Amino acid sequence: MILVKDLSIERSNKKIFENINLAVGSGKIILLKGKNGSGKTTLLKAMLNLIEPSAGAIYWKGKLLKKNLYNFFNNVTYIADKTSSLGKLSVQENINIWKRIFLSNISDSQIENILSTLKLDTYLFQKVNSLSFGEIKKLEFLRLILENKKIWILDEPLSNLDSESIEVLGQTFEDHRSKEGSIIFSSHQKSEINVSEEILL
């Protein structure tokens, strides 16, 4: 579905990486590995057309990504290293806003189940500001289910998560893979998530 061909990126005359080739097909989980500053986030951003590559191209369903951008966006959920929940609002209010923005038809009982699995159900009426960073990050993962898209792109999803949450996330990835979904995520730490391919940057 996504094809990255000979991609090179330079920023401020400094080469971040060059000649990266990558194919993200249905039912694949791809892990981008590398040290801090190796260009994992840059590659993910380039795949979302947020950064202009210095060479190479990215294709989506056989067409240049740039020319098929909004069709691609309709199929992708991006979880950045920053969290997008609104700190001043409660967990419940954030979920309601996301449900409206992503036109999600997921039922309240399904959301309750997910929150219970993520151990966030007791914080429903608490302001996001008062949660720990790990809890805010887990709340962010709810977007994966709410948006219900084919491709998941996640930047450092494992950082700040405890082993139990990583296990839940791994299981969620497996479920998505079994539904022919694709996942590409970055990590600089060892993970026990079962991946189809590892790319070292």
Closest to 50 (Cα-Cα) out of 31, 76, 21: 76
Our finding on whether 185 is near other proteins (CB under 8 A) is no
Contact (CB, 8 A) for 24 and 1: yes
Residue 143: strand, helix, or coil = helix
Our finding on whether 87 is near other proteins (CB under 8 A) is yes
CB of 71 to other proteins, least distance (A): 10
Our finding on whether 73 is near other proteins (CB under 8 A) is yes
CB of 88 to other proteins, least distance (A): 4
Our finding on whether 80 is near other proteins (CB under 8 A) is yes
Alpha carbon distance, N-terminus to C-terminus of the chain? 21
3-state secondary structure 72-137: HHCCEEEECCCCCCCCCCEHHHHHHHHHHHCCCCCCHHHHHHHHHHCCCHHHCCCEHHHCCHHHHH
Residue of 102, 119, 126, 150 that binds other proteins (CB under 8 A): 102
Our finding on whether 82 is near other proteins (CB under 8 A) is yes
Q: List all residues 6 or more positions away from 105 whose beta carbon is below 8 Å from its beta carbon.
A: none
Nearer CB in complex with other proteins: 46/193: 46
CB of 167 to other proteins, least distance (A): 26
Work out the angle between the directed axes of helices 163-178 and 133-147 (0-180°, nearest 10). 10
Residue of 16, 32, 39, 83 that binds other proteins (CB under 8 A): 83
Residue 68: strand, helix, or coil = helix
Segment interacting with other proteins, rule: CB under 8 A, options 24-32, 44-52, 106-114, 164-172: 44-52
CB of 163 to other proteins, least distance (A): 26
How does strand 2-11 pair with strand 14-24? antiparallel
Our finding on whether 85 is near other proteins (CB under 8 A) is yes
Question: Footprint of other proteins on this chain (CB under 8 A)?
Answer: 45, 48, 50-52, 70, 73-74, 76-78, 80, 82-89, 93, 97, 100-103
